[in-house]
Structure 1
């Protein structure tokens, strides 16, 4: 398998050691900022962000006088991260004990009036229950019926905060954060593993972001402290034809693996997701039997092992899918319970399977946020797991090898910087002027409203329009606007959603045509609840026709998108002059990209290069180091840790930078001896 990079970490084990209150290193660092009205926590998966929130929330309730706590997550499954937790057993003063009544991460649509009513009732009425758990969608729909002052006295937590956007004209989550900070006394804590968006728009407006006290805990901090896992290997593999051959070569049956098949509307897909799963199982081996109680498939693998496989793609029988998901939830820590999970969009953001060693992701991912989230599924610390692997299998680009080398090199630098919690996409502030309110029909049914409000459903429908043969043909000729807008688009809507009324078809058609004309190709609210279709943070826009549209005749469109995406990363990472690729290894019709290992010194060099680029690196003299040394010792004594040179607190950052300089000088003197 072609290896782009192998990132190794020194294992100090500090990040997983708990103190007398039961807090890990990151949680303790956050708890020190508990008096802040606005907190922004940037930390990777498995670092304990949800528990850090619990500690802060309980302090807000019982020691700071706030009335109630609300935590909003992007999808229902992630709500489980905030389930009842015994914190007192490890020394904390209270347990996290939300009631079932106000856990709104339960089956049923988030536009369901019952959930919205429960949210408003919790907010406005006196009751014993002081904690509510809901989805982003429920929060947004409830906010539409409230005013900002209704959040007075509330501690609001927003998980996966990169779903917000500074472009508040088009992002309801960003709008409510801005409104609540400006017009209420609420406290807010934002949690995210990647503080950037795939479309390059900033998560928060600088004016709002400046109100937040920020704590950053990078992958390097986290994995350096792990007990078992010490390296991540990243690789891209390219193929021609169908992806099965490349998948077979990349699949290691001795690794716990999640396989993401491509979106059904993408060029990598064969168009039949069920048959793709069957073919993948054939690559693994032969089905022996299925456990009808758990839904686990027992497959006699080609290496003679009996392997346990969970199919999360098959959604034809909802009750079967639920039992498979329940089995995963109940046995997530058991390495013998599952060997391979096959999924479409599930098992990504917020999914927890600690034994997972490898992510095999088929298909172009146009969002760096999504790539980092996928990598995060394999980076949990787990006994016996020393290495984690991420392989993205995509269509071979129609480009020279030099262009591909440059593109992958850029992606590698961007991913590495992202793992260090750096903002790798320069925020775009060229928001278009808010258009006059158009007289557009709105759907009447819940199904129609969900299509408009749910980004993945909306994008899946747009993808169907993009790839429709009749639309592509019509787009090749002039004067076919009416044919496309008034006939072909509504026909596709009716074909994909036959349950819709004539009114709702016309309403959705109007919304889509308006977006296409304006060039946004997105619904008016970003990052809605994710289903199992579409892709998160798809920022490529809509381009009917052309090589990227996918007319079924070429496999190079997606590869071209890959090149455009990789070369469109605009942190000036190209100027960091870090060449991480050694050579290309051609074989048959596919080729892989190889590079040297990224060890601890190389990773530090990347960080230093970024710091120098951003003006954060200063060389301190011996005299300055000696002068500040007592201050460093005092800081360590008070905080029981070294100062962090990447801290948002300027004084701590200075002390951390001086300590770093001292260590560099000491290493240099040792080498001179």
Structure 2
């Protein structure tokens, strides 16, 4: 779609759906290769088969590695169905996944009885138990002894629910089990980001985990039917209902997520919002009492559309509807779902083509989950679409600063999603003219620093997605989004975030990581073009800023000259008029970036370098944002020095 901020094409290779001689799909086989790891983190998108991957690994640990118990913890009872008895032998694996119904604690019973059964399980000869995160928390508290988890595999599904924050009970349990027992851990998540504000694990614990990542790109590129996926943003003024009709195509199977009632975007009457959406579509006819499906006669042609309203809190109706959704057999069984908190995690409607979300979602994990609702492979679609309808900044509103901040965060979120939706490309320093790049796998970059330590190498190989999330959600980086001069972001702000995330790194390691993440950001957002001529043969070019450069002539200085936000910001801004654009610029200009002591000390040498190169100190009134930032740092250092000399520190 022309208005999309991201459009990705896929090859329909069918690779991600094929199985090997053990019945494993590509992602599952990749995870199984790491089955002997004591601590394993699996990051893979919805529908890639994480549940079955765990079955393969868990059975190997039980039957071949000497472990005695497997405990699988899921965030809610409905997800427990993913771990039901499964025949694996018929497809080539040595063992079946079989669980005694008594120890599937996601099917019913009081929390107290579940805790008692959990403790009973640990003393029994049974080897597999399924429970919710909550049951695990309560049982751990009652046990009061970490040693009970020795010789156990603890598998945490939807691992992003864990947090290193001291207030996270599940996070504390995991930390204690890792540090005090010989238990094995398998953590699984569909989120590619460690945490939106708080890390899931403390660095000392995260270092122990082997990681298996299967990207959205690998999953979608290996589908049979899906050819493309797009992410688009649209704006509304006033109430969102006024703009909904423009982005809602009722010919497409759609999930509409309305805003939380606590959000600014909500009208505060969620039931009325559903009624208004129905009225936009057409004329309400009736509700089927057996299924909970609402029938709406479409205004344009009179077609009866089947719609499920999951906003309704009536528990009897909710049960009817969820039951109906779990038994869908045909693309014609349903047209639209309207939801608020449901239809995200662990929810499956394979025929869904369009996820339409109203209001910015602050959680990147939530965005990944919503996108996962429309990216299942299905014969009824060749394109899947995620559309976010957000408020347009307006000078007449009291909440201008909020809407501007939302605008900037939406751009940031789109760039983060782009990194998992596009191919994973590796970078190496160009050391010889004979080094030939391949835009789909490996690109050589002149002047690129290779990792000099095992630590920086591991971060570059495994942690760039999480680090990118930290960079693109950093307040100072967001405020610098509109700056044309890329040096401020690439040379000052990105190193600042790296230092914050990894405070023990040496300056040389920070620079190595910085160059790789800037190169990765650049390539993810780049346009490639192949040119053929009789004289030069076939050459591949890449768009750097406003010009095309031969891929074989890429160097780190050229990459450093590009603002990673440039393209996304330009595309979003195209939908805004001049007054609105000026409002955004004004709000950003008013948000002064704070200088911290850590940043000032880390960049003191850059002030010396600037003086040596330019014969003057950086000017606080300069039009060059990089120079201006250095000047602010210089002023900060001078003030700190004066305070020390005056005995104020």
Same-fold status (TM-score > 0.5): yes
SS at structure 1 position matched to 2:79: helix
User: Whole-Å Cα distance in 2 between the matches of residues 148 and 48 of structure 1?
Assistant: 31
Q: Which residue of 2 aligns with 1:662?
A: none
User: Whole-Å Cα distance in 1 between the matches of residues 97 and 185 of structure 2?
Assistant: 18
SS at structure 2 position matched to 1:150: helix
User: Whole-Å Cα distance in 2 between the matches of residues 591 and 217 of structure 1?
Assistant: 40
Q: Which residue of 1 aligns with 2:148?
A: 150
2:282 is matched with which residue: 282, 285, 305? Answer: 285
Q: Offset of 1:387 from its aligned partner?
A: 0.9
- Structure of greater Rg: 2
1:165 corresponds to 2:163: yes
**Structure 1 stretches of 5 or more lacking a match?**
429-538, 541-559, 593-673
User: Whole-Å Cα distance in 2 between the matches of residues 201 and 565 of structure 1?
Assistant: 23
1:246 corresponds to 2:243: yes
Tell whether the 8 Å contact from 1:235 to 1:390 is kept in structure 2 after alignment. yes
Q: Offset of 1:184 from its aligned partner?
A: 1.5
Q: Offset of 1:356 from its aligned partner?
A: 0.9
Q: Which residue of 1 aligns with 2:567?
A: 580
Residue 361 to residue 403, structure 1, CA distance change in 2 (3 Å): closer
Residue 89 to residue 404, structure 1, CA distance change in 2 (3 Å): same
SS at structure 2 position matched to 1:101: helix
Tell whether the 8 Å contact from 1:372 to 1:419 is kept in structure 2 after alignment. no
User: Whole-Å Cα distance in 2 between the matches of residues 360 and 427 of structure 1?
Assistant: 23
Tell whether the 8 Å contact from 2:360 to 2:406 is kept in structure 1 after alignment. no
Equivalent residues in 2 for 1:437-456, closer than 5 Å: none
Q: Offset of 1:287 from its aligned partner?
A: 2.1
Residue 63 to residue 262, structure 1, CA distance change in 2 (3 Å): same
Residue 214 to residue 340, structure 1, CA distance change in 2 (3 Å): same
Q: Which residue of 2 aligns with 1:496?
A: none
Q: Which residue of 2 aligns with 1:305?
A: 303
1:352 is matched with which residue: 332, 348, 369? Answer: 348
The alignment's C-alpha RMSD in Å is 3.3
1:223 corresponds to 2:220: yes
Tell whether the 8 Å contact from 2:35 to 2:60 is kept in structure 1 after alignment. yes
| CA shift digits 1:361-412 (9 cap, x unpaired) | 1122111111111111111111132111111112223469999876544332
Paired residues in the alignment total 457
User: Whole-Å Cα distance in 2 between the matches of residues 138 and 419 of structure 1?
Assistant: 35
Tell whether the 8 Å contact from 1:115 to 1:138 is kept in structure 2 after alignment. yes
1:208 corresponds to 2:205: yes
| CA shift digits 1:471-495 (9 cap, x unpaired) | xxxxxxxxxxxxxxxxxxxxxxxxx
Q: Which residue of 2 aligns with 1:8?
A: 9
1:388 corresponds to 2:381: no
1:374 is matched with which residue: 370, 373, 398? Answer: 370
Tell whether the 8 Å contact from 1:196 to 1:369 is kept in structure 2 after alignment. yes
Tell whether the 8 Å contact from 2:196 to 2:365 is kept in structure 1 after alignment. no
Q: Offset of 1:227 from its aligned partner?
A: 0.7
Residue 194 to residue 590, structure 1, CA distance change in 2 (3 Å): farther
Tell whether the 8 Å contact from 1:363 to 1:393 is kept in structure 2 after alignment. yes
Q: Which residue of 1 aligns with 2:68?
A: 67
Q: Offset of 1:75 from its aligned partner?
A: 1.7
Q: Which residue of 1 aligns with 2:433?
A: none
Q: Offset of 1:187 from its aligned partner?
A: 1.3
Q: Offset of 1:88 from its aligned partner?
A: 1.8
Q: Offset of 1:563 from its aligned partner?
A: 7.4
Tell whether the 8 Å contact from 1:44 to 1:222 is kept in structure 2 after alignment. yes
User: Whole-Å Cα distance in 1 between the matches of residues 468 and 113 of structure 2?
Assistant: 41
Tell whether the 8 Å contact from 2:39 to 2:209 is kept in structure 1 after alignment. yes
User: Whole-Å Cα distance in 1 between the matches of residues 155 and 95 of structure 2?
Assistant: 19
User: Whole-Å Cα distance in 2 between the matches of residues 57 and 334 of structure 1?
Assistant: 34
Q: Which residue of 1 aligns with 2:412?
A: 410
SS at structure 2 position matched to 1:336: helix
| CA shift digits 1:38-73 (9 cap, x unpaired) | 111111111111110011111122222221211111
User: Whole-Å Cα distance in 1 between the matches of residues 273 and 579 of structure 2?
Assistant: 20
Q: Which residue of 2 aligns with 1:185?
A: 182
Q: Which residue of 1 aligns with 2:268?
A: 271
1:423 corresponds to 2:465: yes
| CA shift digits 1:388-438 (9 cap, x unpaired) | 11111122234699998765443321221244695345688xxxxxxxxxx
User: Whole-Å Cα distance in 2 between the matches of residues 153 and 239 of structure 1?
Assistant: 56
Tell whether the 8 Å contact from 1:194 to 1:418 is kept in structure 2 after alignment. no
Query: Relative contact order (alpha carbons < 8 A, sep ≥ 6): 1 or 2 greater?
Result: 1
Residue 585 to residue 166, structure 1, CA distance change in 2 (3 Å): same
Tell whether the 8 Å contact from 1:256 to 1:355 is kept in structure 2 after alignment. yes
Q: Which residue of 1 aligns with 2:43?
A: 42
Q: TM-score, normalised by structure 2?
A: 0.65
Q: Offset of 1:108 from its aligned partner?
A: 6.7
Tell whether the 8 Å contact from 2:416 to 2:469 is kept in structure 1 after alignment. no
Q: Offset of 1:198 from its aligned partner?
A: 4.5
| CA shift digits 1:222-274 (9 cap, x unpaired) | 11111111321101112111111221111111111111111111121111111
User: Whole-Å Cα distance in 1 between the matches of residues 361 and 404 of structure 2?
Assistant: 21
| CA shift digits 1:118-145 (9 cap, x unpaired) | 222212x214x42211111211121112
SS at structure 1 position matched to 2:331: coil
Q: TM-score, normalised by structure 1?
A: 0.63
SS at structure 2 position matched to 1:392: strand
Q: Offset of 1:181 from its aligned partner?
A: 1.7
Tell whether the 8 Å contact from 1:312 to 1:343 is kept in structure 2 after alignment. yes
Q: Offset of 1:9 from its aligned partner?
A: 2.1
SS at structure 1 position matched to 2:366: helix
Q: Which residue of 2 aligns with 1:233?
A: 230
User: Whole-Å Cα distance in 2 between the matches of residues 108 and 270 of structure 1?
Assistant: 38
| CA shift digits 1:329-364 (9 cap, x unpaired) | 111x53121111111110011111111111111122
Tell whether the 8 Å contact from 2:353 to 2:383 is kept in structure 1 after alignment. yes
1:119 corresponds to 2:106: no
Tell whether the 8 Å contact from 1:202 to 1:427 is kept in structure 2 after alignment. no
Q: Which residue of 2 aligns with 1:361?
A: 357
